[in-house]
Amino acid sequence: MKKHIFGNCLIAVFLLLVVGAYAHASSLTDATIKHFIASMEAVQVLEDEYDMDEFDEEGDLYSDEDAGVPEKPMSESIARLKGHEVYGKLREVVQQHGFSDVASWAQVGDRIIKAWFAIEMREESPEMRSELDRAIREIEESPHMTDHQKQEIIQQMRQSMTFMEAMADAPEADIDAVRPHLDELRSALQ
């Protein structure tokens, strides 16, 4: 009986440690965000060193499906770089900034960018919604387009707005963590 109780206690302690470590690893800290921002400044140097436009022309990095902001902007872009020389250089940069590998760096970047986008969307959403409504009215009243053209354009505009609203759905903890770093993010990522 004592062995059974002791065994259950060990399992409980193990689970608490694992869950605690996972919860800790999943939070965005100031240090993690600062490391990411610093890494992005170094990545800008890589972009200047390697002609990233060649990826655009070859279709390796971007495609027509990439219009707008992808669900995982960093991870999806980085996946396209695998096998290119720049990927190895990127691995060196992210490791120099405290990340274990490119994939974990990209996942942190996805969360930071999504939180940043959510903040921007929340601040601009009312104006954007009224602008969208105004633009839709203008399209509906336009004598220069067919009904079919009007419907297509309006549908695309509404899909874009729906997509942007979905991107603005970042976890509150990430938004709170990213908010103090907005100026540095804007500087590093624009």
52 or 130: which carries more pLDDT confidence?
130
Chain centroid offset of residue 60 CA: 20
| Averaged pLDDT for residues 27-32 | 93
Taking the C-alpha atoms of residue 43 and residue 57, their distance in angstroms, rounded to an integer, is: 20
Coil/strand/helix, residue 27:
coil
Q: Does the pLDDT value for residue 25 go beyond 50? A: no
Q: How confident is the model at residue 61 (pLDDT cuts 50, 70, 90)?
A: very low
At 54 the pLDDT is 54
Q: What is the pLDDT of residue 53?
A: 54
Residue 96 has pLDDT above 80, yes or no: yes
104 vs 114: CA distance, rounded Å? 15
The whole-number average pLDDT for the span 164-175 is 82
Is pLDDT above 80 for 70?
no
Q: Which helix (H) or strand (E) holds 136?
A: helix 102-141
pLDDT at 151: 92
Q: Which residue has the higher pLDDT, 126 or 113?
A: 113
Residues 6+ apart with CB under 8 A from 160: 68
Predicted confidence band at 19 (pLDDT cuts at 50, 70, 90)? very low
Q: CA-based angle 23:185:165, to the nearest 5?
A: 70
Q: Look at residue 142 and tell me whether its pLDDT is greater than 50.
A: yes
Q: Compute CA distances 164 → 69, 103, 109, 111, 121, whole Å.
A: 8, 24, 18, 15, 8
Q: 144-166: per-residue pLDDT in tens?
A: 999 999 999 999 888 877 777 76
Question: What is the reported pLDDT for 100?
Answer: 94
Mean pLDDT of all residues belonging to the chain: 77
Position 99 confidence tier, pLDDT thresholds 50, 70, 90:
very high
